[in-house]
């Protein structure tokens, strides 16, 4: 934990505590030495003006002064990157909602977000328009279908719908027990127990039409079973991993890939020549190869052999499109 995180954690502990916080608890929460803790307390009190006082107890403890502590806030923007992203995303979603049923209900949240994103020391609003949240690859969604689907998930009711598969363009009717909604790469997917196939499946919500919530109660599948089949392989495609892919990236691309999260079980290793070797489990190769292709000549699929051959075919087909003259 760096100093920024320690100061923020220390402030939140003292701010939320109704009684003096023992030194032992602070040391455990901040994961630091006694000397470091005392330096952080001094910085919070002397440099940032926090109303910290030592509690008159047998054991060392600290607290904010009664009354003053409730009013004190850290000056400036003290948010982690995840917190800032969450606030901006929520603010963006509220702005998208426009006039409607939720507009009045969400207004207090918008005001609260703007307060959190202001300079607590001066009360001056920060120019949050200078921070952008850009959707990527978001597909058009039928909001009525989404409401029916989300309602069935939360109310634990079965669903019936018509599905138009994007890969095959096939049209089918399904009766399912919805398990959970997943927001992945700016699009929504529905994990279900498919009663017709008697198996777990994932469907892109933007390809669902004629959705109908049924009176029958949904069949619940254990979360461990859902994760094992739907979250253990690379990407959104369902299925238990059938193999591990090994991909090597050039020294240039390695500077990006080494810091990227591809999968919860990924394994990475720097090679002596500066390249980076990444290993991820996969079931369906389609999405994995698409993500590797964006690195062009800076990425090479090493193993397994069938995956390497599949990549070679894709590259040959892509090259074939450039061999003929434009008409």
Specify the pLDDT at position 248: 97
* CA of residue 190 relative to chain centroid, distance: 17
CB-CB contact of 303 with 245 (8 Å): yes
Enumerate the β-bridge partners of residue 93.
Answer: none
Strands (E), the chain: 21-22, 52-54, 61-64, 157-164, 171-184, 187-194, 199-204, 208-217, 243-249, 267-270, 276-282, 299-303
**Residues of the chain predicted below pLDDT 50:** 101, 120-121
CB-CB contact of 213 with 152 (8 Å): yes
CB-CB contact of 181 with 189 (8 Å): yes
Specify the pLDDT at position 96: 61
Q: Please classify residue 177 by burial: count the beta carbons closer than 10 Å to its beta carbon, then call 0-12 exposed, 13-18 middle and 19+ buried.
A: buried
Q: Please classify residue 170 by burial: count the beta carbons closer than 10 Å to its beta carbon, then call 0-12 exposed, 13-18 middle and 19+ buried.
A: exposed
pTM above 0.85, yes or no: no
Specify the pLDDT at position 136: 73
Q: Which residues contact 52 (CB under 8 A, 6 or more apart)?
A: 14, 41, 44, 45, 62, 63, 64, 65
Strands (E), 2-83: 21-22, 52-54, 61-64
- CA nearest neighbour of 249 among 223, 268, 232: 268
Specify the pLDDT at position 121: 47
Distance CA 295, CA 307 (A): 16
Enumerate the β-bridge partners of residue 268.
Answer: 278
Specify the pLDDT at position 225: 84
Distance CA 206, CA 187 (A): 8
Size (the chain), residues = 327
Enumerate the β-bridge partners of residue 182.
Answer: 189
Tokens 């079931």: give the residue. Answer: 283
Specify the pLDDT at position 56: 62
CB-CB contact of 10 with 44 (8 Å): yes
């Amino acid at each position: 934990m760096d100093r920024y995180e320690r100061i923020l954690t220390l402030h939140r502990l003292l701010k939320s505590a109704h009684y003096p916080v023992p030194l032992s608890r602070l040391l455990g929460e901040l994961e630091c030495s006694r000397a470091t803790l005392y330096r952080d307390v001094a910085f919070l009190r002397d440099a940032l003006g926090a109303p910290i006082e030592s509690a008159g107890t047998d054991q060392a403890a600290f607290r904010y002064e009664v009354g003053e502590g409730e009013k004190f806030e850290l000056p400036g923007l003290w948010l982690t990157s995840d917190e800032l992203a969450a606030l901006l995303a929520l603010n963006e979603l509220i702005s998208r909602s426009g006039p409607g049923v939720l507009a009045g209900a969400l207004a207090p949240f918008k005001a609260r977000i703007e307060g959190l994103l202001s300079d607590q020391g001066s009360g001056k609003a920060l120019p949050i328009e200078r921070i952008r949240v850009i959707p990527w690859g978001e597909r058009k969604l039928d909001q009525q279908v989404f409401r029916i689907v989300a309602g069935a998930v939360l109310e634990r009711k079965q669903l019936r719908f018509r599905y138009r598969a994007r890969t095959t363009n096939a049209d089918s009717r399904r009766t399912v027990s919805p398990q959970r909604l997943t927001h992945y790469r700016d699009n929504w997917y529905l994990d279900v127990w498919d009663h017709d196939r008697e198996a777990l499946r994932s469907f892109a919500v933007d390809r669902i039409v004629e959705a109908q919530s049924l009176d029958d109660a949904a069949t619940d599948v254990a979360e461990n079973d859902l994760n094992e089949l739907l979250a253990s392989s690379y990407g959104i495609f369902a299925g238990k991993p059938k193999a591990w892919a090994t991909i090597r990236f050039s020294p240039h691309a390695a500077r990006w890939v080494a810091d990227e999260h591809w999968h919860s079980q990924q394994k990475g290793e720097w090679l002596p020549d500066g390249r980076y070797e990444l290993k991820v489990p996969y079931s369906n190769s389609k999405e994995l190869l698409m993500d590797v292709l964006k690195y062009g000549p800076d990425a090479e699929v090493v193993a397994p052999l069938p995956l390497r051959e599949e990549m070679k075919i894709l590259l040959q087909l892509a090259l074939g499109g450039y061999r003929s003259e434009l008409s």
